[in-house]
Amino acid sequence: MLVALDVGGNASSVHGEGRAARKLLDDAREVLGFALGCLPEMIVFTSGGTEANNMALRGVQAERVLVSAVEHPSVLAAARASGKPLDLIPVDGEGRVDLAALERMLGGPNVLVSVMLANNETGVIQPIADVVALARKAGALVHVDAVQGFGKIPVNFGLLGCDLMTVAAHKVGGPVGVGALVIRDGLVVEPLLLGGGQELRRRAGTENLAGIAGWAAVSRENPLNIKVLRDELESSLESAVILGAGAERLPNTSCFAMPGFRAETLLMNFDLAGVAVSSGSACSSGKVGRSHVLEAMGVAPEVAASAVRVSLGWNSTAADVRHFVTVWKQLVARHRARQAA
């Protein structure tokens, strides 16, 4: 990233500085294409996953949109803003897409299906291969939000078989503020941003060269292998309910609930102890509200009200987990002491 910042040129300019910037951009696109299992020219760089999701849901020429009920808010909001008729695909108690319901909903021409690879709150991995197979049979397009999965489980655009895929850098330790929409060759997606010819005229605006270079660098790293830490953390959560535990999940994500607690109280107490955890989507900044994901899963309101999400990152350690467990046990002990008083 420091090298890219020193280049200083605009990758759209023809002078020497511009050509140097263009080379960095092209090299990064090639590295990311290899990491994502797609041709480099299929990658459209964006400001992050939210922009990429909006570009997919609002830019594809579809007459109807089917979106899973547990999608990220940026997918749900973009689908509603697209002006296209929208139907939500139900999920089971573990948060997995109801494939039988999806098959019934797929009738009619020009349908776009959007199902995430893995959920941002529970870590539950969706049966994308089955979703794609059903969509192909019905002649529908498929968009996959793979932001949560990239860098934690294998993510390969070609093997997933979808038409569009969203990814972002920061979930795997890359810079904040850079993402991409991967678009199948030959598929037309109308741009959200106009005013320039960048990204093969699919996204106007000077590219975030330093961010893209940083993302390419981190994409060379091996996927995170921290399931053992997640399992150690969950085994210490006595009396807690692990949401989505019956499904295949990301190795770094745990969503648990402790009836009798309030999520906002837990968040504040963890924060005071130097532990950063979330409730619901991290993009719902500044508020702790009811989770639409847990509601769609049929989780009881009193259980959902105490749900907390813990994400282990690229730099998480066993010491971090031990500290979390210590804080958790102190919170439980204080809670039980108050109940007994």
Contact yes or no for 49/233 (Cβ under 8 A): no
Considering the candidates 38, 162, 255, 283, report the single residue annotated as catalytic: 283
Burial 226-247 (b: 16+ CB within 10 A, else e): beebbeebeeebeebbebbeeb
Alpha-carbon span 308 to 311, nearest angstrom? 10
C-beta atoms surrounding 218 within 10 Å: 16
Q: Classify each residue of 286-325 as buried b or exposed e, where b means 16 or more C-beta atoms within 10 Å of its C-beta.
A: eebeebbbbebbebeeeebbbbbbbbbeeebeeebbeebe
Q: Is 283 a catalytic residue?
A: yes
Place of tokens 């850098």: 169
Which of these, 86, 81, 38, 87, lies nearest to 187 by C-alpha position? 38
Find the DSSP H helices in 44-145. Answer: 49-59, 73-81, 99-105, 128-138
User: For residue 314, which amino acid is it?
Assistant: W
Task: Cite the active site residues.
Answer: 283
